[in-house]
Chains A and B, each alone.
Chain A
Amino acid sequence: MRIWNGYGSEHSMDLVLIGQFQTVTGAKAAEERMEALKALAEDAWSDDDWQSPGERMPRELGEALAEMKAYDMGRYDVDVFALDHTVTRTGEAVRIWTDESDVQGFLKALLHYGAKVEIFSRHKWDEDTITRTDASTRSDSGSD
């Protein structure tokens, strides 16, 4: 007989997009659109993405995007909204923090409302102190 204590063992882009709008109304509209896309992405069909990568556009998603008049978006554009990211708005500026390098969906959502967009890596770019504080707070927060 052998007796021991233990469990099996296992082992484990920091981007900012800034959309600058000409009006607060435009920035608010983009912010709301992204909230809607996040809700859409978090619905059950989004989880199914990894199981059926060959499917170009699930019908429910196509209908939802058409209803939003987001005719330029595809399923992979929407999927970025299901991954961990944060959207904030200050006046005419909308900021998006994401750890993923796939950002086309975010870009489309910003450009749809006429934004001028900057994208940079927080690993390489020091933005002003206030913005970096916001970002680190977001990174360390609970996620569930």
Chain B
Amino acid sequence: MLSVTCKIRLSAAGVHLFDRDSGMNVLLDEVPVPVEQFSRAPRYLSIALTNACELRCAYCYAPKHAAALDRERVVAWAAELDAAGCLGVGFGGGEPTAYRRFAQLCSDIAQSTSMAVTFTTHGHRLTPELVESLRGAVHFVRLSVDGVAATYERLRGRPFAAVVQAAGLLGSLAPFGINAVINADTVGELDDLAEFADEVGASELLLLPEQPTAATPGISDADAQRLVEWTAAARNGVQLAISRTGLEATLPTADAVPGERPLDAHMHVDATGVLRPHAYAPTGLSVGDSIMEAVQALREAR
């Protein structure tokens, strides 16, 4: 008999069951939930552990000043979030594998909570030893691959063969997806990216239309249109996903949790400990002793 332990989250949408090992979500939207029982935490929280990263991609939104979060503080936040109905934490940066004792942090949270632990990486610090130390401590990984072959090497300044090797290492660790920033450099390589994702065994290709930063204006309207047209015609072996970037209205996206407000779906903590509505948000609230107090304050401020 199959036995599955699910995390339960209650919201206006109904009763949400989530199994972190398989990634399976079941929303019982026919079950009404009283307001006072709604889970208070966002469904998902991303955390920038450090601003440090050895790559210098022009379109990167992460701040460049030195900052890193205290490990014990992150573990304490995870316990609070878990108790308040959060389904998963995702580590980014910067480059999370550049964070000291990263594997220990993932292990601590995987063992002390029922949340999914995920992270996004450029893959160039992954070694068999690091992957081994992460085994059992992470449930999903996102590998950043912008373009293929020469385009990747020009944008990321690293050999494409190295990221192929990283995908191979991740395949032995956990289910993983491919993240791709879509801009003028990569919009013409969507077929190649989808083929790459399929070949390396990725379960998902997450399309990230380039966001404006101090260094770049973001994806152009024309390239955004090319992306929309490609997704409409694409016949891929890999599942497609897209970040919340304003293109949802023109794409046939699936609304996982109907009617979910953005702050119920996701929040972000940067490497200085400021809670923001999302990673691109210009302002937020500094997290004090309790992250759930900050979550509540952020909701009330908007």
Contact = CB atoms under 8 A, between A and B. Distances in A.
Interface of A: 1-14, 42, 47-48, 50-51, 79-80, 82-84, 99-102, 123, 139-144
A65 to B, nearest CB: 20
A142 B97 contact: yes
B186 interface: no
Contacts of B93: 12
A1 B243 contact: no
B285 interface: no
Categorize the interface residue count of chain B: 35 or more
Given A140-B125, A142-B127, A143-B102, A11 B118 contact: no
Contact of B25 (A3, A12, A101): A3
Closest 8 CB pairs of A and B: A8-B44, A10-B90, A10-B46, A142-B127, A142-B130, A2-B27, A7-B140, A47-B70
B154 interface: no
A4 B42 CA distance: 19
Interface string B265-302: 11010001100000100000000000000000000000
Given A8-B90, A12-B92, A143 B98 contact: yes
Contacts of A141: 125, 127
Contacts of A100: 52, 66
B254 A84 contact: no
Interface of B: 20, 22-30, 43-44, 46, 52-54, 56, 60-62, 64, 66-73, 87-88, 90-95, 97-104, 116, 118, 120-122, 124-127, 129-130, 133, 139-140, 142, 144, 158, 162, 179, 204, 206, 208, 241, 243, 254, 256, 265-266, 268, 272-273, 279
Contact of B68 (A1, A9, A12, A83): A83
A7 B139 contact: yes
B101 A139 contact: no
Nearest to B279: A11
Contacts of B20: 7
A49 to B, nearest CB: 8
B204 A6 contact: yes
Given A8-B88, A10-B90, A144 B102 contact: yes
B11 to A, nearest CB: 13
Contacts of A144: 97, 100-104, 130, 133
A80 B52 CA distance: 11
A45 to B, nearest CB: 11
Given A12-B120, A42-B100, A2 B68 contact: no
A102 B52 CA distance: 12
Given A4-B256, A51-B273, A100-B66, A11 B102 contact: no
